Amino acid sequence: TAVLGVALAVSGCGAIGGSVTPVREVEFDSELAIPPLAESSVVDGVRTFDLTARSGTREFLPGVETPTWGFDGPYLGPTLRAERGERVAVRVTNELDEATSVHWHGMHLPAAMDGGPHQPVAPGGTWEPTWRIDQPAATLWYHPHPHGATEEHVYRGLAGLFLLDDDASRAAELPSEYGVDDVPVVVQDKAFDDDGRLELRHDGAEPGMLGDTVMTNGTVGAYHEVTTERVRLRLLNGSTARTYAFGFADRSFDLVATDGGLLDAPVRLDEVRLAPGERAEVVVALEPGEVTRLRSAEPDLGGVAVPSTMGGNDAFDVLELRAADRLTPSPVPAWGRSSHADDDELRAEDAAVSRSFELAGRQINGERMDMGRVDEVVTAGDTEVWEVRNANPVPHSFHVHDVQFRVLTVDGREPPPQLTGPKDTVYLEPRRTYRLLMRFEDYTDAEMPYMYHCHMLLHEDEGMMGQFLVVEPGETASDHVEH
């Protein structure tokens, strides 16, 4: 009751957790859908993709056709894949009846190509961003980012993976046959109404709606046939509000990469917690004939008294792995050097600027998102520390566009192993302070901002977002920020 009181004071309304139904138990008897690799053509040295947002239907539940949105298909989208150093272009077409956008989450690119709320694609319209891939290999993703409507667009099904490769990732001893032993796993939770439509409830529950049906790549109760001794799972939490603690009841695994790419070395873990927007690549070993399940255990939401449902923390299975009777040998995950050895390392002692961000209520530093207001102006090339404090008793998920950052400390202490790799999104435990180290480079624009925001999508839509410009040294922000 004390907990409820605090939570009510924050949200000011409605049920906290009480209306959440536990995740339904399902049979794991449907083969995991693998998003197809997007076709591309290289035109004048530019790898060019087409991506069309449209509506459709999908049978998530047996015998029930659910209206959905997707890219190039009824639900989710193809996996885009490109090489470090390549120039890419994406021809985005919007066949929906309303404006949307496509944001390249985790990508280092010019603000005008970012696909945030300032780059809407009108119904029937097209948009063709182009940029050069200039960052280490990683599991990135794309999703709409229309002002105030991101939750609905992602929830209906608009999202996909964007994989980057480089020499280091190719040389690493990692399973790498897409869809076979290198498997995309996009995890989302949904609710359905009596007519089988996707239901998006806004009943005041924190941190948003938690659906009772969990799916991977759009498959409810999925299994994947494993034919190799090890399998690499590229986990994306593509949910709107739910936080997962992924692991296995009967084994540990190697965490090999976080949002922005490979760790310095694999880390053996039992569990990896992912908030909305976060990714992790894990490698798990199986014996011939074994069956195990990726599950979400009750996540430790940060050792504070929050209602048990607030992070979606009941325990449930997510994906069944079924090993064949004979398995092809797989290497033990290893790589000779840090994937970042060729990058300019981020060093805390280089930090010349520090900024503070306090997340409280639905605001950041006392303000809600305003498309016409610039909140921060960053000078290109500066290394910065962003001190991000979650002042609420509810969790948040803090995402910064354009960069990969390093987590320096959590409440002044060393971060846990899963936060030691490159990150663009970080779960913020209630009432804790995170110090993040980052550097903005290359792309300056005195008029077009990037975003930082909570990736719990209802929070984002309700205004927990701010805007920053990256400018040349000595330059100031234009008065004419586009909106």
**Binding interface with ligand C2O (CB under 6 A):** 103, 105, 143, 145, 277, 399, 401, 451, 453, 455
CB-closest chain residue to ligand C2O: 105
**Contacts for 113-118 with beta carbons within 8 Å, 24 or more apart?**
114/401, 114/402, 114/450, 114/451, 115/142, 115/145, 116/145, 116/401, 116/450, 116/451, 117/145, 117/146, 117/147, 117/371, 117/451, 118/371, 118/448, 118/449, 118/482, 118/483
Closest separation in Å from C-beta 453 to ligand C2O: 6
- In terms of CB distance, is 28 or 142 closer to ligand C2O? 142
Among 7, 454, 470, 471, binds Cu ion (CB under 5 A): 454
Q: Are 230 and 325 in contact (CB under 8 A)?
A: no
Could you say which of Cu ion, ligand C2O, none residue 454 binds, taking C-beta under 5 to 8 angstroms by partner kind? Cu ion
**What backbone phi and psi angles, to 5 degrees, belong to 457?**
-70, -25
Q: Does 459 bind Cu ion (CB under 5 A)?
A: yes
Q: Does 396 bind Cu ion (CB under 5 A)?
A: yes
- In terms of CB distance, is 47 or 103 closer to ligand C2O? 103
For residue 436, give every residue at least 6 positions away whose Cβ sits within 8 Å of its Cβ, in sequence order, or none. 385, 386, 387, 388, 398, 400, 405, 406, 407, 408, 423, 426
Burial (Cβ within 10 Å: 0-12, 13-18, ≥19) of residue 413: exposed
Closest separation in Å from C-beta 215 to ligand C2O: 19
Closest separation in Å from C-beta 201 to Cu ion: 17
Nearest-CA neighbor of 142 among 90, 87, 192?
Answer: 90
- At 46, the amino acid letter reads V
Q: Does 456 bind Cu ion (CB under 5 A)?
A: yes
Closest separation in Å from C-beta 465 to ligand C2O: 8
Closest separation in Å from C-beta 357 to ligand C2O: 15
Closest separation in Å from C-beta 274 to ligand C2O: 13
Could you say which of ligand C2O, Cu ion, none residue 277 binds, taking C-beta under 5 to 8 angstroms by partner kind? ligand C2O
Could you say which of ligand C2O, Cu ion, none residue 156 binds, taking C-beta under 5 to 8 angstroms by partner kind? none
Could you say which of Cu ion, ligand C2O, none residue 456 binds, taking C-beta under 5 to 8 angstroms by partner kind? Cu ion
Determine the Cα–Cα distance for residues 384 and 381; give it in Å rounded to an integer.
9
Could you say which of Cu ion, ligand C2O, none residue 299 binds, taking C-beta under 5 to 8 angstroms by partner kind? none
Q: Residues in the site for Cu ion, rule: CB under 5 A?
A: 396, 454, 456, 459
